[in-house]
Structure 1
């Protein structure tokens, strides 16, 4: 039989945040699978569709992924003909990404997976409650990040 402490940890906000993340990732993958896209590929397309041509290194920062991960994601999108890489005229190592015509057409056909996830996950939850959940998670995340930035793990 699990102790009360162990049970409490499995019912904590952090545990539920992790479960929500895992469930939402699985749902996002299921929504995008028929279009031949993964979640990170979708986020790259989202950024390019909304912000226009963007330097690849800026996407690494914006999406908080490793450079090697972004390289693989971009290579897949280029191979699919959805994105093109434009060398920087000053520094040929730097690339700017932009949607191709095919990428723009696919983007126009794609459902909004985030809206679909929210509609299911937060069905019956008021906008005020959703805002409160977001605020609490944002503040907790910021406190942890600040604490880690100071060089010490949470005690």
Structure 2
């Protein structure tokens, strides 16, 4: 297996090199994809550690961010905003409700729907969640210049766009086959 880490002269410490995993030969044709996979896994692990301190699990903070910013939402709207599925969102909302961060109330315009809204307890949590995200951003972008941060963001947005387009194309092809 080939190592995915650059050589020492690229500025990585020994500890950082030890934290990387070898790239399996079968993934050799996709080194960027393999790196994205590893980065996403480490990012989720780290944010999970930081969020546990404030009583949340990864993903729950994103639901709360939308609720804080947009106000009460139907669960179906949260599914769309988060690009999630109904079952996952049901579990997430249930856990947030059990933790006292959201509550449901009937929708005044749709008798079949209920609105999910943040509680006072969740509003008290907002600063902590913002602090966690700032801390994570600082950690992820440590030692990057402002220009490098901008370039990284633009590159990641381009990669996201490429995958979103490919996903839309697959969905269109699947729909056409039916």
Q: CA deviation at 1:5?
A: 6.0
SS at match of 2:121: helix
Gaps of 5+ in 1: none
- Equivalent in 139, 143, 147 of residue 161 of structure 2: 139
Counterparts in 2 of 1:106 and 1:8: CA distance versus 1, 3 Å: same
Give structure 1 regions of 4+ aligned residues with deviation exceeding 6 angstroms. none
Distance 1:119 1:36, change over 3 A: same
Aligned ranges 1:85-96 → 2 under 5 Å: 85-96=104-115
| Structure with bigger RCO (C-alpha 8 Å, 6+ apart) | 1
TM-score normalised by L of structure 1: 0.83
Residues 78/124 of structure 1: CA separation in 2 closer, same or farther (3 Å cut): same
Shift of 1:111: 4.2
- Shift of residue 22, structure 1, vs aligned partner: 0.6
Query: Are the equivalent residues in 1 in contact too, given 2:68–2:118 (CA < 8 A)?
Result: yes
Given the superposition, is the C-alpha separation of residues 82 and 132 from structure 1 closer, same or farther in structure 2, using an over 3 Å criterion? closer
Q: C-alpha separation between the residues in 2 aligned to 1:128 and 1:91?
A: 43
- 2:61 maps to 42
Q: Which residue of 1 aligns with 2:127?
A: 108
- Cα root mean square deviation, aligned: 2.3
1:144 shift after superposition:
1.6
Deviation string 1:103-149 (CA, Å, 9 cap, x unpaired) is 11122343433322221122222233223322331232133224313
Q: CA deviation at 1:86?
A: 1.3
SS in 1 for 2:139: helix
User: Which residue does 2:150 correspond to in 1?
Assistant: 128
* Total equivalences in the alignment: 150
What corresponds to 1:8 in structure 2?
Answer: 28
Unaligned stretches of 5+ in structure 2?
Answer: 3-23
